[in-house]
Amino acid sequence: MLSPHTLLSLPTEIRLDIWDLVLTNDAFSHQENTHELVLNSQYTAPTQLNLLLTCHQIRNEIGIIPTFQRAAFVVKRLKESPYSAFACQLLSLPKDLIAAVKKLVLPAQWLDFDDPTFWSGGAMFLEEKLQLFELTFFFENKVDALASHAQGTICKPPPVHPMARRMRLWNHVQVLRFIRNESNVHLRKWYRALVGQILKEDHYQRYDSEQAPNLGMTRWEWKYDVKEHVAEFFAKPPHPVLPEAEYMEMVAPMIHDLIADMEAEGDESLSLP
């Protein structure tokens, strides 16, 4: 009589494919009607990591570090001391697991550059402790925004001037994303303002500041997905020192693209019924 097959009796290649499918649960999903990218309310990192707790064989096959690297850690809302509380949550992990965190998803309203606790808490922790594949900021959807408004807070995009200055110094993130998440935030307009400020700040630091030429630690390439309503920034090595005329010639197409995007959005709004 044949013994019944169990999951662990399957060939290793099949088991690894199964583990891969289990771990591909995404922190985001698409709205069926609009295709807009939104936060998946059913997703939690602990659910992803539960596979490690099933048995020693599975834990050894998928690996603790690779599993942490694949999981997106989503912090939704912390009402009190959000920045320091967020840092304390991750600092409770062993150092090797902190280093293994590669995907982080945070509320966009945390990007409050006027709040000193932002720098002493969450932001400094991000810059000193983590090397991320993806750092995603999401805006509150309309339901959560109503709750915030009732509490006297309003979710809005962060100011672009300090954001652009800080991004030149960030070398711990490969991809920086902002998702509208069905909010009332005019993300596309803010994205253009941020890109314009990035270009303006880079020119100033290279040619006009007291420390010129200050190349910064990172330059960014960018794109905006008009269906998903996602702004993405990709970290690249800074350009070398260039004569100003050559630099202006290099960035001219980027400025043209910004103007074209603004005009295209205006045309889209005019065509709406």
Alpha helices, DSSP H only, in the chain?
12-22, 45-49, 56-62, 64-70, 82-91, 95-100, 116-118, 124-129, 142-150, 160-167, 187-207, 244-271
- Tell me the average pLDDT of the chain: 81
Question: How much is the pLDDT for 49?
Answer: 76
pLDDT at 152 over 50: no
Q: Is the pLDDT of residue 115 over 80?
A: no
Using the predicted structure, report yes or no on whether residue 168 has a pLDDT greater than 50: yes
pLDDT digits (tens, 9 = 90+) for 11-66: 777 777 776 766 666 889 998 888 999 998 888 777 777 777 777 777 777 778 88
Closest by CA to 203, choosing from 255, 127, 158, is 255
Mean pLDDT confidence for 164-184: 92
pLDDT at res. 85: 61
pTM for the whole structure: 0.84
Instruction: Say which range, 13-22, 24-33, 210-219, 253-262, has the weakest mean pLDDT.
Output: 13-22
235-246 pLDDT, tens per residue? 999 999 999 999
**The predicted structure's pLDDT at residue 270:** 38
Residue 128: strand, helix, or coil = helix
Q: Are 255 and 198 in contact (CB under 8 A)?
A: no
Instruction: Spell out the residues 6+ positions from residue 256 whose beta carbon is closer than 8 angstroms to its own.
Output: none
Residues 88-106 as b or e (16 or more Cβ within 10 Å = b) = eebeeeeeeeeebbbbbbb
The beta-carbon contacts of 125-129 under 8 Å, at least 24 apart in sequence, are 125/83, 125/86, 125/87, 125/90, 125/91, 126/172, 127/170, 127/172, 129/90, 129/91, 129/98, 129/99
Distance of alpha carbon 60 from alpha carbon 55, whole angstroms: 9
Query: Which pLDDT belongs to residue 156?
Result: 67
| Burial (Cβ within 10 Å: 0-12, 13-18, ≥19) of residue 4 | exposed
- β-pairing, 219-225 vs 173-179, is unpaired
Whole-number pLDDT of residue 129: 78
Q: 195 by DSSP, 3-state: which?
A: helix
Please check the confidence at residue 259 and state whether its pLDDT lies above 90: yes
Q: Do β-strands 173-179 and 103-107 pair in parallel, antiparallel, or remain unpaired? A: unpaired
Beta pairing class for 219-225 and 230-236? antiparallel
Is the pLDDT higher at 159 or at 88? 159
Rounded Cα distance, 93 and 249, in Å:
48
Identify which of 36-45, 89-98, 197-206 has the greatest average pLDDT: 197-206
Structure-block tokens of residue 120 = 């002493």
H or E element that contains 28: strand 28-30
